[in-house]
A and B are shown apart, each in its own frame.
Chain A
């Protein structure tokens, strides 16, 4: 027993002395690096601090948390601003995390996702001198909050048009049932805007096309997504657009299994199944994050809703499957131009 205690004491001493030494070194190097403080632009940017709070999904969610993080990293690299990330472990962490960043003098605090709506509203009120940005949720009545919203009906329109054209010209794996499908996560506006665009785009190039729309009522259930996709395939769907987050992984797997096409969402999902993903309707959360950091740094922060669309690269289409001929890609690019020019207006309301 006694010898055990001696060993313990030794261990303690060893570790603490070691770490004190280490901390001495590191604090020294820190001092040196901050000493030459000049009034250059670089130093000014370095003093600009951006904090990002993820929702409970964490930064490896293959979706908006991850993309926001990528945007933040790009800002650190290209603009030289100081960045920091806190990953929330539970919903009760949102308010303290946002508060901590604001309290420590961060110039811009980014909240990722609609789940943080209430927390952002609450904290932004307490810190009127700190700028906040929230992704995917509308906060319009605070002078220090910018809401990044995405015109996803526009990229939905483009992938819909591509699906319509692929059906019309019977490209690759398509046999000509002239039927396409959608698997949605929930019947909520952020999902329906994608679907609305998809319907309009497909109908615009292929008026006779049949579009099957179903919802799984979950964003985290790949098995349900797969089941729904298999049902739609049995009803003749040859291209299925998934707007269902994690549930959508199952849709892509079903397409692979039955040798039809799937269309990815949010991120470029071509890598999940290169032969079977036709393209992806991409929502560039990374672009939005970077742009708002840059604007805020340059003193051009705008409160209220900031829209991201085709024009400012906030939405777009991902990598296109190799089966798709150039003529179709050209047509889709032309439609994108028409949307940017305002020749085509895409509604975000679904048609029944």
Chain B
């Protein structure tokens, strides 16, 4: 119980300070923070529809956040969840519209699993192997692979092989009905994908904390040398954890396509892969924490659209609050590091 409280302490304080500073900024710029926050809250949780839309927005964040959290736990910084998301989306949509005549209970799992494999390979194959066997920095490789994935989607959609031939707008055809993950609540964007996200979070928790493999991945993350000394296969664990990380980002792309968009649009970024990093950071890489962190950022997103409408506060204000939360979470960790260093130095001085 005490440890849970301790885990909660940092993110909650960070969020509170961010909200307080956000309200100071709003007051200075001539907005009423109470009205703004009330409309932000109502926009995110005010009625069933808004709650549903918030949860819907949280689904891709939970899944990409899980992906990033896995890699962080294993001591690897997978910054390219955005690209793995796109690859998953491309594969999911392609399977969604090009296979006909499959029953839904085959079509949907087929698309989801294929997207997971594609996302996993995207992260595991090149960045994973490069990291494990040549030491190539995965921050750079995953990031660059992201750009490749995004531009690949442009190639496919802008008069490429995946463009909807019936029109002139750069977008893919609509997926077949048998591949559509049905909506859970009508007139909202919430699909049964939310259950996929929740099950995935529990699965990742079990995998990371209750299995040998998870233990090995975490051990590699804590201390590579010790892990190697203990007889663990460090390169293999690196490839696997990056691959697993990419698989969940890929799953996020496919769930979003099959559940919400139903077709792939030409756009530069979804933003999920980047917000995922923040989600994992706020959750301290805890898979269950990821659910709540994702809902928080999703609520800031849906609420801010409502805030524009009802309090006339520009939507960017929510971005400011998001930025402040990240800053204070990061600042706390920096403070911890500094405290550690100081403590060590003091010890040394005492010894001397």
Contacts and interface: CB of A to CB of B under 8 A. Distances in A.
Interface of A: 11-12, 15-16, 18-20, 22-23, 26, 51, 56, 84-93, 95-97, 99-101, 104, 114-115, 117-118, 126, 186-189, 217-218, 220
Contact of B159 (A16, A92, A99, A217): A217
A99 B309 contact: no
Contacts of A188: 168-170
A19 B305 contact: no
A20 B169 contact: no
A85 B308 contact: yes
B305 to A, nearest CB: 6
Contacts of B176: none
Nearest to A59: B314
13 contacts: A15-B24, A15-B27, A16-B34, A22-B34, A86-B309, A87-B308, A89-B304, A90-B270, A96-B302, A126-B187, A186-B158, A188-B168, A188-B169
Interface stretch (B63-71, B198-206, B259-267): B259-267
B78 interface: no
A23 to B, nearest CB: 5
A112 B27 CA distance: 31
A100 B20 contact: no
Contacts, number: 88
Contacts of B261: 91-92
Interface residues of B, number: 39
Contact of A15 (B33, B260, B314): B33
A296 B305 CA distance: 25
Given A22-B27, A217-B159, A104 B20 contact: no
A22 B32 contact: yes
A122 to B, nearest CB: 10
A217 B158 contact: yes
B57 interface: yes
Nearest to B174: A118
Contact of B187 (A90, A99, A104, A114): A99
A244 B7 CA distance: 51
Given A86-B305, A101-B309, A19 B27 contact: yes
A95 B191 CA distance: 14
A76 B304 CA distance: 23
Nearest to A104: B309
A277 to B, nearest CB: 28
Interface in B31-50: 32-35, 49
A100 B256 CA distance: 21
Given A12-B20, A19-B33, A22-B32, 13 more contacts: A15-B23, A16-B34, A19-B34, A20-B34, A26-B32, A84-B308, A84-B312, A89-B315, A91-B265, A92-B56, A96-B302, A117-B169, A186-B158
B53 interface: yes
A96 B53 contact: yes
Contacts of B158: 186, 217-218
A19 B306 contact: no
Contacts of B260: 92
A92 B189 contact: yes
B301 interface: yes
A11 B53 CA distance: 33
A185 to B, nearest CB: 10
B271 interface: yes
A19 B169 contact: no
B34 A96 contact: no
Given A51-B309, A87-B315, A96-B53, A56 B23 contact: no
B159 A186 contact: yes
Contacts of B23: 15, 19
A40 B271 CA distance: 48
Interface in B309-336: 309, 312, 314-315
A110 to B, nearest CB: 14
B308 to A, nearest CB: 5
B192 to A, nearest CB: 17
A5 B27 CA distance: 23
A82 to B, nearest CB: 12
B187 A15 contact: no
Interface string B177-208: 00000000001010000000000000000000
